């Protein structure tokens, strides 16, 4: 299969393929999604096959506006309107209880709930509108590997497996959306993202708990990205705490380990390595934007035996960054034995 790269003036062609049941990857402000018509179960099944994704993993349904969800949702949480007004379009996915039979179990993972998002990307909103149906859109990569933040990343993983990719350059945020569960009484974050716990609490005026439960391989997750290990390159990753860099580098040299550095300029300037990916600046925003790109670049270069990755405080946007990094590293920090 030829995988075509679509530009802005070719959105109608990409939409035609989606209506026919083909798969087309699309850009969002977070990462690139692997698009299929959410109303065509056989197409959605192909998403799992192409990604190598467990079929019990629910998918996010991407819509053009809030009214598009009403055909599927059974009931809305009382705070839904306030949340949507403040955060849609944007990097926030909302989970609702849905009407029986309104969406295929292939989309919901067999659950009585479904996840919805309105992405903040004009090209993709046009694509959904042109398709005339909502689109499922898990990250457009091989399952378990770092998510794609450019069309080139998608092409690298899925060339010849999907019909096309709608290109919109590099994504702005770099990690997947926050997932907020509104199917119960208390809004609960199932996956942290750029819409932080603090931002939600400021708007809603209530405490918004974070579900830190990590799902094992035998459990059915309620939202994507809840597995214990995820986003992992083939090269092993170790998280390095601020006080441990000198010791970690010395350990690597002593054990003849070629190290790839995934760090801010502040750390990178202190150590010389055969291979490195340096974030654009020292901020958590730059680190989050560059995390998946950096993991991919260091892995694909095949110059490192191990990747040393910089950690950030587990709060605000750092919570989203560390959530992904911990899973990429299989929860492993450097600790000299």
- What CATH number has the domain bearing residue 291? 3.40.50.11030
- For residues 10 and 85, state if they share a domain: yes
- For residues 93 and 242, state if they share a domain: no
Residue 156 labelled as part of a binding site: no
Residue 232 CB contacts under 8 Å (≥ 6 apart), including other chains: 144, 145, 146, 327, 328, 329, 330
* Residue 69 in domain: yes
* Residue 62 in domain: yes
* Residue 227 in domain: no
- For residues 181 and 243, state if they share a domain: no
pLDDT score, position 271: 87
Render pLDDT for 222-277 as a digit per residue (tens, 0 to 9).
666 655 457 789 999 999 999 999 999 999 999 999 999 999 999 999 987 768 99
Residue 218 labelled as part of a binding site: no
Residue 279 CB contacts under 8 Å (≥ 6 apart), including other chains: 263, 264, 265, 286, 287, 289, 290, 294
pLDDT score, position 125: 98
- What CATH number has the domain bearing residue 175? 3.90.870.10
* Residue 221 in domain: no
- For residues 190 and 264, state if they share a domain: no
Q: What are phi and psi of 252, to 5 degrees?
A: -65, -45
- For residues 85 and 137, state if they share a domain: yes
Residue 117 labelled as part of a binding site: yes
Q: Record the pTM.
A: 0.93
- The residue among 183, 204, 225 that closes a domain is 204
Question: Would you give the DSSP letter of residue 60?
Answer: E
pLDDT score, position 232: 81
pLDDT score, position 227: 54
| Cα within 13 Å of Cα(191), Cβ side | 25
- For residues 254 and 188, state if they share a domain: no
pLDDT score, position 184: 94
- For residues 81 and 200, state if they share a domain: yes
- The residue among 163, 184, 204 that closes a domain is 204
* Residue 88 in domain: yes
Measured CA to CA, the distance from residue 191 to residue 224 in angstroms comes to 8
* Residue 165 in domain: yes
Give the residues of the chain that fall short of pLDDT 70. Answer: 213-229, 274, 336-337
- For residues 159 and 40, state if they share a domain: yes
* Residue 286 in domain: yes
- For residues 244 and 196, state if they share a domain: no
Overall number of domains in the chain:
2
- For residues 242 and 178, state if they share a domain: no
- The residue among 179, 204, 229 that closes a domain is 204
Residue 62 labelled as part of a binding site: yes
pLDDT score, position 219: 61
Whose tokens are 């670049």? That residue is 297
Question: Would you give the DSSP letter of residue 182?
Answer: -
- Structural domain boundaries enclosing 281: 237-328
Residue 37 labelled as part of a binding site: no
Closest CA relative to residue 123, chosen from 244, 27, 188: 27
Residue 77 labelled as part of a binding site: no
- For residues 291 and 153, state if they share a domain: no
- For residues 157 and 259, state if they share a domain: no
pLDDT score, position 145: 87
Assign 306 to helix, strand or coil.
strand
pLDDT score, position 1: 85
* Residue 223 in domain: no
């Amino acid at each position: 299969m030829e995988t075509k790269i679509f530009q802005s003036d070719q959105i109608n062609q990409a939409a035609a393929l989606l209506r026919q049941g083909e798969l087309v990857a699309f850009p969002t402000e977070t990462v690139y999604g692997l698009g299929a018509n959410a109303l065509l179960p056989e197409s959605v099944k192909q998403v799992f096959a192409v990604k190598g994704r467990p079929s019990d993993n629910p998918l996010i349904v991407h819509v053009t506006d809030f009214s598009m969800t009403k055909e599927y949702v059974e009931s809305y949480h009382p705070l839904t309107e306030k949340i949507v007004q403040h955060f849609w379009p944007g990097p926030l996915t909302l989970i609702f209880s849905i009407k029986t039979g309104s969406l295929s179990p292939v989309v919901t993972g067999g659950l009585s709930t479904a996840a919805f998002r309105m992405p903040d990307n004009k090209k993709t909103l046009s694509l959904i509108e042109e398709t005339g149906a909502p689109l499922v859109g898990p990250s457009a990569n091989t399952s378990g590997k770092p998510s794609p933040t450019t069309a080139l990343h998608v092409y690298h993983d899925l060339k010849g497996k999907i019909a096309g990719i709608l290109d919109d350059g590099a994504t702005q945020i770099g990690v997947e959306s926050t997932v907020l569960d509104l199917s119960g009484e208390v809004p609960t974050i199932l996956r942290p993202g750029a819409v932080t716990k603090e931002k939600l609490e400021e708007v809603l005026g209530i405490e918004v708990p974070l579900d830190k439960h990590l799902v094992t391989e035998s459990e059915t997750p309620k939202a994507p990205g809840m597995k214990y290990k995820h986003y992992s390159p083939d090269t092993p990753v170790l998280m390095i705490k601020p006080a441990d860099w000198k010791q970690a580098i010395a350990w690597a040299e002593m054990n003849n380990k070629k190290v790839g550095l995934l760090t801010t300029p502040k750390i990178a300037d202190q150590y010389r390595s055969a291979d490195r990916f340096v974030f654009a600046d020292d901020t958590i925003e730059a680190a989050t934007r560059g995390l998946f790109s950096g993991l991919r670049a260091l892995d694909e270069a095949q110059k490192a035996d191990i990747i040393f990755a910089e950690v950030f405080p587990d709060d605000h946007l750092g919570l989203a960054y560390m959530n992904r990094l911990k899973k990429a590293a299989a929860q492993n920090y450097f600790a000299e034995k």
